[in-house]
């Protein structure tokens, strides 16, 4: 293995970006960025949201043209690439949102660009399936993905592999993976990593973008850190560590991400008794006290998100009771929000923000009754409250009228959190509060959560990131296939205990202890 890595490191440079500059209307997105990728190398690219990763990738795939700088591909110098050219050279990207047609089969999707034709100009279906099988075989995935299956029946992880096979179908030599792990349940991660390693060993160059630093240590040979559009450093992974990367990314050493607990939980706020949600969640009972953070762990499909949504009235509760402050909880989302039970949803674009509206509009939305004077909205009261919230939550830029679709992911999340801070909720349910947002924004969100608990707000925090659950929670409820597999107290917190419960392998063992 070591020998293999050695030979990879001396592989020849396939793609090299030199002194790339790019501005958008006076705002500099990239400044003198240089980056290179060897054959048979996995080169990780990290940085906070807005650091310039996406811009750099778009310059490589030809979606953007650099202002100045050169791209050297396989020894040929280009001032810029256009998308078709990049594809012909063999540069392909796999984004978080897949470009697959769900109603078509795996084979059809893979050969969408170039359908093999047989006699008489008709599609050669056999050749198409064979080609798909061959590509899946190259990825070591022929055993569990049937080329003739419709894509909509595949899991997210399988779809991602089809997406990679599609890139291979156009002979991609450079593969860019934009946060591939963010959309995957953790059990599919190993398979993805195996596929990526296979590609590396075959001599493909891979640019791997991720917010999860431990993946980078597991997978990559080198890592480049971007900050504010500049290259901070390119490091050989074995010569660096987590703390160094984080301090390069945020520009300051991040001593403790998780602010310490500084209050004790009070009386019972929410009591869930024997709750069943249509087909996916069964017999759940638990309590949340005021000022308490209850973590919810579990693998993808374990019912966490379904439960979170059911609590605020999204989804149909089949049986069981939800008591909020001793009374049955409201069954409609609008009434739940009005009563002070709010959800900061997993998918902020679909459930958290009205994207085509301004930050002011979104922040004010659940708080309108506060700004009413004699039946009419008072814009001065609104403006004052909004400005205070923006300052409190450190949203950037602090421009109330900016459209929320133009904010970065981390700042969008701050808007969703900010609108509820303003509403003085009693119970806030965070579902994946830090998905896809950068380290700096994460720390801000954790501070806000602590602030809420200090005011006696109860918190439910469902997350697939164990470190943040362990860092923030008083107790962690672990879910497995729609059932509560166990509850872990703070003194017993460890990733191992939680994972054992979450995978359902060791329930009896732990109970017998």
Partner 1 sequence: MAVTVENTRERYQPSLRQWSKFFRNNTSIILIYVIILVVIGAAAILNENFRTPSNMLNILRQSIIIGLIAIGQSVVVLTGGIDFSVAQVARIVGLTVATIFAAQGSNPALILPLILLGLFIGALLGGFNGLIITRTHANPFIITFGIASILRGVNLAISTTPIRGIPDPYLRIYDFKIGIVPANVLVMIIMWVAAYVFTTRTRTGRALYAVGGSERVARLSAIRYNRTLVTAYIFSSFCAAIAGLFLLARTGVGDPSAAEGMDFQSVVAVALGGISLYGGRGSILGTLGGVLLLAALSNVFNLLQVNIYYQQLFLGLIVLITVAVYKSPRSA
Contact residues: partner 1, CB under 8 A: 312, 314, 332-334, 337-338, 342-343, 345, 350-357, 361, 364-366, 368-369, 372, 375-377, 379, 396-398, 401, 419, 423
Nearer residue to partner 1 within complex by CB, 39 or 393: 393
Nearer residue to partner 1 within complex by CB, 7 or 356: 356
Distance CA 407, CA 433 (A): 17
Q: Which helix (H) or strand (E) holds 321?
A: strand 317-324
Q: Which helix (H) or strand (E) holds 180?
A: none
Nearer residue to partner 1 within complex by CB, 203 or 333: 333
DSSP tag of 349: I
Nearer residue to partner 1 within complex by CB, 102 or 397: 397
Q: Measured between alpha carbons, how far apart are the two ends of the chain, in Å?
A: 39
Q: What angle do CA 424, 428, 430 make, to 5 degrees?
A: 140
Distance CA 497, CA 480 (A): 13
**Roughly what angle, to the nearest 10 degrees, separates helices 186-201 and 156-169?**
20
Nearer residue to partner 1 within complex by CB, 116 or 366: 366
- Please provide residue 429's backbone torsions phi and psi, each rounded to the nearest 5 degrees: -105, 115
Nearer residue to partner 1 within complex by CB, 345 or 486: 345
β-sheet with 76-78: strand ranges across? 27-38, 13-24, 68-73, 76-78
Residue count of the chain? 513
CB 414 within 8 A of CB 391: no
Neighbours of 203 (CB within 10 A): 15
Torsion of CA 81, 83, 86, 90, to 10 degrees: 180
Nearer residue to partner 1 within complex by CB, 22 or 419: 419
Task: Give the residue from 415, 474, 422 showing the smallest Cα distance to 452.
Answer: 422
Closest approach, Cβ 361 to partner 1, in A, equals 7
Nearer residue to partner 1 within complex by CB, 182 or 314: 314
CA-based Rg of the chain, rounded to a whole angstrom? 25
Both structure tokens of 47: 């940085």
Nearer residue to partner 1 within complex by CB, 293 or 336: 336
Task: Give the residue from 90, 91, 113 showing the smallest Cα distance to 101.
Answer: 113
Longest dimension (CA), the chain: 78
Distance CA 462, CA 478 (A): 10
Q: Is 14 in a helix, a strand, or coil?
A: strand
Closest approach, Cβ 381 to partner 1, in A, equals 12
Distance CA 426, CA 296 (A): 18
Closest approach, Cβ 357 to partner 1, in A, equals 5
Nearer residue to partner 1 within complex by CB, 193 or 351: 351
β-sheet with 174-178: strand ranges across? 91-94, 174-178, 205-209, 42-46, 222-227, 230-236
Nearer residue to partner 1 within complex by CB, 197 or 396: 396
Q: 456: alpha, beta or left, given left = phi > 0 and alpha = psi -120 to 50?
A: left
Strands 205-209 and 42-46: parallel
Nearer residue to partner 1 within complex by CB, 28 or 187: 28
């Amino acid at each position: 293995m070591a020998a293999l890595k050695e030979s990879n490191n001396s592989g020849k440079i396939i793609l090299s970006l030199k002194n790339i500059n790019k501005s958008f209307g006076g705002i500099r997105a990239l400044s003198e960025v240089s980056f290179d990728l060897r054959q048979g190398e996995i080169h990780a690219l990290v940085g906070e949201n807005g650091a310039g990763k996406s811009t750099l990738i778009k310059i490589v795939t030809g979606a953007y043209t650099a202002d100045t700088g050169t791209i050297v591909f396989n020894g040929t110098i280009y001032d810029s690439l256009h998308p078709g050219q990049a594809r012909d050279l063999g540069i392909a990207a796999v984004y978080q949102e897949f470009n697959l047609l769900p109603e078509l089969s795996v084979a059809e999707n893979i050969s969408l660009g170039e359908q093999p034709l047989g006699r008489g100009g008709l599609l050669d279906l056999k050749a198409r399936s064979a080609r798909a099988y061959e590509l899946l075989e190259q990825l070591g995935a022929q055993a569990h993905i049937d080329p003739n299956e419709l894509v909509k029946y595949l899991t997210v992880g399988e779809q991602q592999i089809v997406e990679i096979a599609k890139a291979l179908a156009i002979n991609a030599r450079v593969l860019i993976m934009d946060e591939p792990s963010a959309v995957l349940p953790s059990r599919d991660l190993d398979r993805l990593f195996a596929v990526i390693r296979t590609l590396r060993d075959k001599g493909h160059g891979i640019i791997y973008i991720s917010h999860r630093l431990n993946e980078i240590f597991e997978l990559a040979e080198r890592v480049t850190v971007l900050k504010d559009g500049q290259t901070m450093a390119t490091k050989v992974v074995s010569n660096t560590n987590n703390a160094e990367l984080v301090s390069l990314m945020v520009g300051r050493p991040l001593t403790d991400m998780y602010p310490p607990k500084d209050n004790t939980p009070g009386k019972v706020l929410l009591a869930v008794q024997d709750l069943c949600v249509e087909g996916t969640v069964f017999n759940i009972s638990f309590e949340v006290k005021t000022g308490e953070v209850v973590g919810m762990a579990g693998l993808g499909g374990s019912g966490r998100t379904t439960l979170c949504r059911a609590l605020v009235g999204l989804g149909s509760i089949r049986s069981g009771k939800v008591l909020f402050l001793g009374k049955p909880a409201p069954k409609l989302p609008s009434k739940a929000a009005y009563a002070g039970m709010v959800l900061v949803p997993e998918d902020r674009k679909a459930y958290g923000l009205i994207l085509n509206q301004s930050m002011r509009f979104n922040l004010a939305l659940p708080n309108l009754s506060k700004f009413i004077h004699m039946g009419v909205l008072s814009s001065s009261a609104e403006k004052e409250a909004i400005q205070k919230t923006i300052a409190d939550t450190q949203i950037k830029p602090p421009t109330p009228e900016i459209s929320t679709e133009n904010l970065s992911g981390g700042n969008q999340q701050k808007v969703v959190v900010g609108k509820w801070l303003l509403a003085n909720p009693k119970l806030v349910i965070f579902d994946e509060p830090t998905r896809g947002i950068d380290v700096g924004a994460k720390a801000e969100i954790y501070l806000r959560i602590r602030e809420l608990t200090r005011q006696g707000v109860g918190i439910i925090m469902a997350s697939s990131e164990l470190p943040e659950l362990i860092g923030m929670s008083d107790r962690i409820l672990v879910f497995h296939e729609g059932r509560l597999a166990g509850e872990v107290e703070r003194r017993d917190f460890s990733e191992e205990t939680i994972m054992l419960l979450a995978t359902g392998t060791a329930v009896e063992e732990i109970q017998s202890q």
